[in-house]
Amino acid sequence: MVRWLAHGHINPNILTIIGVSLNVGCGLLFGMGRFFSAGIALIIANLFDMLDGQVARLSGRVTRFGGFLDSSLDRLSDMVVFVGLMVFYARDTEFHSTLNVFLAGAGLMGSVMVSYASARAESLIPKCDVGFLRRPERVVLFIIGALSTFPGSTNYFSNRMPAVLWVLAVGSYWTFAHRMYHTWRELTELETKTQNVEKQSSYSQAGSSTGGERRPEQRLVHKPG
């Protein structure tokens, strides 16, 4: 399929926009309480999210703007899903839960901070993708929570979205803290190396200047006896 799309001259940015549009629809489905349909939409949307990069590389259409667009719309895709869940649990229905609204909001803020920390850190260090709760893991958790939701079911594995929100809320801030620590450690090591290089350079310059000086020779003057 990737080869067919690449040879069909499909613009990878179009695939990115289709993916985010499906994610917006997914957020609307969550808000209306249609969790199973939202889970299916989320799977299809993220297939497009995986395809755009592969099509860009295979067709030789990798651009800086394409990477920027993909990264920016990924953040939007995350946020609309969280907002949809907040709307669902805030509605005046039997599923109303202030705690779940809070967890969804905390997860939203945490996911944004994880992405921002990575983007800001990579302007200072080569790479900052540490942490166990990145976007692919968040998507998988959303899908598990959505497809397991069957109102009225007493099965232990059903209706796991509240548990998913707990994992997202706690795990996002853990990942954010991990990236903060990783960046601090990398920058500390970089600064230490830079200081050592500067010290060695100053020592070598001082040594060369000292070695280049020649003392004047003292001549012995013989006085006539």
Closest CA to 138 of 80, 184, 95, 94: 80
b/e string for 150-167 if b means 16 or more Cβ within 10 A? eeeeeeeeebbbbebbeb
Q: What is the DSSP letter of 158?
A: S
Distance CA 160, CA 146 (A): 8
Cα dihedral 206→211→213→217 (10° resolution) = 150
Question: What span, in angstroms and rounded, lies between the C-alpha atoms of 25 and 74?
Answer: 14
Point out the residues that are catalytic: 74
